[in-house]
Structure 1
Amino acid sequence: MSTPRNLTCVLVANRGEIARRVFTTARAMGLRTVAVHSDADADAPFVADADVAVRLPGNSPAETYLRADLVVAAALRAGADCVHPGYGFLSENAAFARAVEAAGLVFVGPSPEAVEAMGSKLAAKELMRRAGVPTLPSVDATGLAGATLAEAAAEVGYPLLVKASFGGGGRGMREVREPAELAEAVAAAGREAASAFGDGTVFLERLVERPRHIEVQVFGDRHGTTVALFERECSIQRRHQKVVEEAPSPAVDPDLRERLQEAAVAAARAIDYRGAGTVEFLLDDSGDFFFLEMNTRLQVEHPVTEAVTGLDLVRLQFDVAAGRPLPAEAVSPTLTGAAIEVRLYAEDPAQNWLPQSGRLADFEIPADAAFGPTVGPGLRLDSGVTPGGEVGVHYDPMLAKVIAWAPDRASAALALAGGLTRARLHGLTTNRDLLVRILRSEAFLAGETDTAFLDRHGLDTLAAPLVDEAGRRVHAVVAALAGAALRRAAAPVLAGLPSGWRNNSTAPQTTAFDAGSVRYRLDRTGLTADVDGEPVELAVLRTAVDGPTVRLDVEADGLRGRYHVHVDGDRSYVDGPEGSTTLVELPRFPEPTASVAPGSLTATMPGAVTRVAVEEGQEVRAGQLVLVLEAMKMEHPVVAPTDGVVTHLHASVGAQVETGAVLAVVGEHTPTERASEGNSHAS
């Protein structure tokens, strides 16, 4: 074995919190750091974190982060001697790993041959079967159609999954329960896989009902050592994408842990693996497990393993890449306490997980550490965004990962829920309330988790706002008072006097929000207020103005609480003890605007039209696919709201549309009715 190489400068071929995480360890090891960035990311925090940044012209991943030639050229130009791929983008691209090594640089990851062996999920499953690792029935569906496709599906058995052979993250995946759904699922999964990963190969795999998703962290070095660093459970998912991850799994006892780790190490040794990797399994309710895939990279959820082992997995990656052996603490790891991670997304779970884009008016999450193993109880925040930043439409809408460690699982869950509740997340809808409800649910605290968790407990419950109706009325009154306080603070005379205060009783002041109209009066007797006629009993104890934020201490039903109201334009973001609310103040004199025609299907976000499934004049049924919009790396179907006919079609394949754009109009009349009406008019 050659002498270990001293690495001095790393280019991270990624963006966002991924790049920031790697930079943190690299700086601690004395490495110079290089970022690459698209035009859309020019002002992103990860670019400012790096010592040097290189522009990749363009915005989309295909133009920038997926261009291996541009990334390697940037590394050479910046004087890097190694490249860390992060996770996603080119991290599991064997050709990229070879290009890095061909340029004389060190690839901080496994060998190109190992990446290639696991790059195709189909080939990987066969390799694992030969290595003695349990696998599920599957068959390649690429190019199959009609009876041939139906026969392949029958061989696998229903229900089944259509899965992208390359890539992951839930993209290029469709669940199929009936033969009639098969052809469209294969086509859609292939399109999505081709768009996200540059390869449309898909396969069919037997669906395990309500399994647990268990994965084992493995590490190998260049000296023949391969180890397992315990398991993680990632069962709670939306659209086959992980939302909550934890270590260790509440379902894994010492015997099962040993069997899982033996299978994972066997999988890694089968391809002479080095560096950080993850072997993923499905665990059924009988205790049997099956190989799902191997991720030849660091995982998004690696912080929970760092928290329970005390190891810095990124540091270990650099050590292995430099040729050093794994240290003793990694060869004989210890498992301490419990850690849970949640992925905070800019999305609306109640609106079919609709991604959000736009400006973050505020972003503050209480945390004890960031981008590295936590020491002792506390919260860790790994984030790629900052207050005032933009969440664009070109990339995944994940804002941050929030991680909690505690001596036991329940304590970690409740600490994480508390930190999320106290967070100030203004400007975009997020999945924060959903995460808090999951962490506090009796089922989660009891360890009753599987991949059907969200379906079983229902988004009508889990995605409901933390603030109830009564609480929202309190928030509305508090927001109205905060707006008045801001106006009084700017007054040239008697600025400290509450707005609307009268020595004698007079007509109440009114503030109209989208959630209701607030009427209030301040006089010698105190505050009198109602929301849409519903009385709200409040006493204001103290008000303080700090820039655009107003702090109000109020008392209701004998309970005193502190509220912070951040006013940004016509929006008031209210953070209180029970949760947060966003209120939009309505204009007193609204301007007339052009109305949208009844039946119009509008774009809910900026994106590209990837498919048009109808023609003008075509009859459609309620729920029928009209077109497909791609945004934030996911396909979003647009369906007919009612039975009718497509009277206007404004979108074409490849068109870029903005939020609110009218894509199509579905009228109530059928073509026959419209023709008869036209004839009668002509006569």
Structure 2
Amino acid sequence: MFNKILIANRGEIAVRVIRACREMGIETVAVYSEVDRNALHVQMADEAVCIGPGKAQDSYLNMENIISATVLTGAQAIHPGFGFLSENSKFAQMCKECNITFIGPDAETIDNMGNKSKAREIMLKSGVPVIPGTEGSIETVEDALKEADRIGYPIMVKASAGGGGRGIRIVRAKEELKKAFETAKSEAKVAFGDDTMYIEKFIEKPRHIEFQILADNYGNVIHLCERDCSIQRRNQKVLEEAPSPVMSHELRKKMGEVAVKAAKSVNYKSVGTIEFLVDKNFNFYFMEMNTRIQVEHPITEMITGVDLVKEQIRVSAGEKIEFSQEDIDIKGHSIECRINAENPKKGFRPSPGTITLEHLPGGSGVRIDSSIYQGYTIPPTYDSMVAKLIVHGADRKEAISKMKRSLEEFLIDGIDTNIEFQLNILYNDSFQKGDYDTGFIQSNEDTLF
């Protein structure tokens, strides 16, 4: 096991990893930008190293500075969290060459699964069901038009290196394609430095259901059941729950087996997530794989009792998974709400600023993953998520009631938040019935805002 781990991230995920390490008896090193010098993860870690100015490009994405900080402090491994360098194959390879353990899969796997069009090809060869679409990347508008005619509208133009809802456009008619292709391509270039595109069939009103994977270095691969991530705004998740309210035992078994097959097809090691779209007839299609810990991992931890961050660290240290698929059992129901510093009534405008008053909810089955505190100033430089509120109940009805109560207790003054917006989702009749899809927010704008 490692003696010291550097966390190449910030915010709540850095705090989450520090807590796991402390419980495992592992020392931690925080890295931080100049604007994050007062951040909670900096105060909690055993050591902290400044790695550059506020811009992520100069600090949290600065590979050389992060490697230097690791060598300087004698850390043996780097935990990348999510976002930033967590799915960067160049960084994973750089760690390997410097004899530093990258807590995640190897560079080749990140490359294979991080490129969406390449991942599709691999899954097709492995017999994993995929959404009808192009088998490779699309270079020109002319090629896009030909492929769209072959696949049939509506389609989605997607960035191969995409994520977080960027570089994606839905196209319902031929005359819309040229503009959509060009704007998605330029957006992808700015966001990912890669404007490779592909096309797939747009599945109307799908559920977005993902399976949590855990794999070690000895060929053991298991899944820890599913999360329903269908409550989204512009392809970005807002609220997640586990298990999915539409999942049957038979469908879970079938999808879980396919998820494990997908992970084995790329010799996967570490934690990861296989994401599917499920249509109204419960046909499911592979969409992508996230080769890192997910924002919504706590709800899986709540229903399975497995600490995913600790397991991720153990696997990277060369330990075997100590339990089998048969040991995984769903206990109760869990919901996560992402609390963002933003104003939903003003187009979700970001709301950086100083927190003047804070009261966190508590009680049985309530968990807060956050890095904010009273007096902390949220910078405008990074993602707007400031906390994750997670609840666990005996069943879905109790989990919903517990989340409502917890949101109503949650107080953050000095900035705008989406707490009221999350409450409106919880009170929605369709949500309470479990009758929703990825278009839920757009379809209920009149009652949610």
Normalising TM by the smaller chain, what interval?
Answer: over 0.9
Displacement of 1:78 in angstroms is 1.2
Match of 1:382 in 2: 369
Q: What residue in structure 2 maps to residue 238 of structure 1? A: 233
Deviation digits for residues 513-542 of structure 1 (CA, Å, limit 9, x no counterpart): xxxxxxxxxxxxxxxxxxxxxxxxxxxxxx
The answer to whether the Cα contact below 8 Å between 2:113 and 2:291 also exists between their aligned partners in 1 is yes
Cα deviation code 1:236-288 (max 9, x no counterpart): 00010001111100111000000100100000000111110100000001010
1:452 maps to which of 439, 445, 448: 439
CA displacement, residues 148-175 of structure 1 (integer Å, 9 cap, x when unaligned): 4322332333222222211411122222
Q: In the TM superposition, what is the alpha-carbon distance from 1:228 to its structure 2 partner?
A: 0.8
Whichever residue aligns with residue 376 of structure 2, its letter is: G
Which of these residues, 403, 413, 425, is aligned with residue 412 of structure 2? 425
**Amino acid in the other structure paired with 2:448:** L
| Partner residue in 1 for 2:397 | 410
How much has 1:292 moved relative to structure 2? 0.4
**Which one is further off, 265-274 or 347-356?**
347-356
Partner SS for 1:40: helix
Give the aligned partner of residue 64 of structure 1: 59
Say if 1:281 and 1:289, in contact at 8 Å, map to a contact too. yes
Which residue among 133, 141, 144 is the counterpart of 2:140?
144
Say if 1:38 and 1:183 are closer, same or farther in 2 by CA, change over 3 A: farther
Query: Match of 1:104?
Result: 99
- Check whether the contact 2:340–2:417 (CA below 8 A) recurs between aligned residues: yes
Counterpart in the other structure of 2:302: 307
- 1:289-304 equivalences under 5 Å are 289-304=284-299
- Displacement of 1:117: 1.2
In 2, the alpha carbon distance for the partners of 1:173 and 1:206 equals 13
Local SS of the residue matching 1:326 = coil
- The whole-number CA distance in structure 1 between the counterparts of 2:106 and 2:397 is 40
Q: 1:42 to 1:181 in 2, by over 3 A?
A: farther
Deviates more, 1:352-361 or 1:209-218: 352-361
Q: Deviation of residue 142 (structure 1)?
A: 4.9
CA contact (8 A) 2:245 2:434 kept: yes
Measure the CA separation in 2 of the matches of 1:387 and 1:157: 53
Alignment CA distance shift 1:60-1:183 (3 Å): farther
2:204 counterpart of 1:209: yes
| Residue of structure 1 in register with 2:334 after alignment | 339
- Look up the SS of the partner of 1:200 in the other structure: coil
Helix, strand or coil for the counterpart of 1:135?
coil
Does 2:249 align with 1:254? yes
CA distance in 1, matches of 2:152, 2:348: 29
**What is the deviation of 1:186?**
2.5
The one of 276, 279, 282 equivalent to 2:274 is 279
8 Å CA contact 1:120–1:166 kept in 2: the answer is yes
Q: What amino acid does structure 2 have at the position aligned with 1:160?
A: I
Quote the Cα distance in structure 1 between the aligned partners of 2:391 and 2:279. 27
CA contact under 8 A between 1:414 and 1:440: conserved in structure 2?
no
Inter-CA distance 226–329: structure 2 relative to 1 (3 Å threshold): closer
> 1:83-136, CA deviations, whole angstroms, 9 ceiling, x for partnerless residues?
111111111111111111111111111122211110100000110011111111
Bigger relative contact order, structure 1 or 2 (CA pairs below 8 A, ≥6 apart): 2
Q: How far apart, CA to CA, are the structure 2 residues paired with 1:390 and 1:185?
A: 38
Structure 1 unaligned residues grouped into runs of 5+: 1-5, 369-376, 464-683
SS in 1 for 2:36: coil
Change (3 A) 1:63 1:181: farther
TM-score (norm 2): 0.96
User: How far apart are 1:329 and its partner, in Å?
Assistant: 6.4
For residue 117 of structure 2, the aligned residue among 115, 122, 128 is 122
**Counterparts in 2 of 1:265-276, with a 5 A limit?**
265-276=260-271
Equivalent residue number for residue 462 of structure 1: 448
How far has the Cα of 1:435 moved from its partner? 0.6
CA distance in 1, matches of 2:96, 2:137: 34
Secondary structure at the counterpart of residue 330 of structure 2: coil
What's the counterpart of residue 562 of structure 1? Answer: none
What residue number does 2:387 align with?
400
Other-structure match for 2:164: 169
Matched, 1:35 2:30: yes
> In structure 1, what is the equivalent of residue 81 of structure 2?
86
Contact residue 247 and residue 304 of structure 1 kept, 8 A: yes
Query: In the TM superposition, what are the counterparts of 1:583-622 in structure 2 within 5 Å?
Result: none
Pairing 1:223–2:218 present = yes
Contact 1:56 1:64 in 2 (8 A): yes
When you count helix as a share of all residues, which structure comes out higher?
2
Task: Please give the alpha-carbon distance, in whole angstroms, between the structure 1 residues aligned to 2:158 and 2:373.
Answer: 35
Contact 2:209-2:278 at 8 Å conserved across structures? yes
| In structure 2, distance between residues paired with 1:194 and 1:43 | 33
Greater shift after overlay, 208-217 or 330-339?
330-339
Contact between 2:222 and 2:324, CA under 8 Å: does it hold in 1? Answer: no
Distance in 2 separating the partners of 1:26 and 1:63:
27
How far does residue 209 in structure 1 lie from its aligned partner after superposition? 0.9
User: In the alignment, what sits opposite 2:4?
Assistant: 9
- The offset of 1:330, in angstroms, is 6.6
Contact kept, 8 Å, 1:365 with 1:420, in 2: the verdict is no
| Contact 1:193-1:199 within 8 A present in 2 as well | yes
Alignment partner of 1:138: what SS?
coil
Residues 149 and 329 of structure 1: CA distance in aligned 2, closer, same or farther (over 3 Å): closer
Q: Do the aligned residues in 1 keep the contact of 2:339 with 2:386 (CA within 8 Å)? A: yes
User: Which 5+ residue runs of structure 2 have no aligned equivalent?
Assistant: none
> In 2, are the aligned partners of 1:110 and 1:274 still within 8 Å (CA)?
yes
Match of 1:51 in 2: 46
What is aligned with 1:534?
none
Larger Rg: 1
The structure whose residues are more often strand, as a share, is 1
| Counterpart residue type for residue 346 of structure 1 | A
* TM-superposed deviation, 1:178: 3.0
| SS class of match (1:165) | strand
Give 1:49 deviation, angstroms.
Answer: 1.4
Q: Secondary structure at the match of 1:425?
A: strand
Equivalence for 2:153: 158
> Would you say the 8 A contact 2:355–2:415 is kept in 1?
yes
Shift of 1:200: 2.3
Report SS of the residue matched to 1:320. Answer: helix
The percentage of aligned residue pairs carrying the same residue is 42
Secondary structure of 1:55's counterpart equals strand
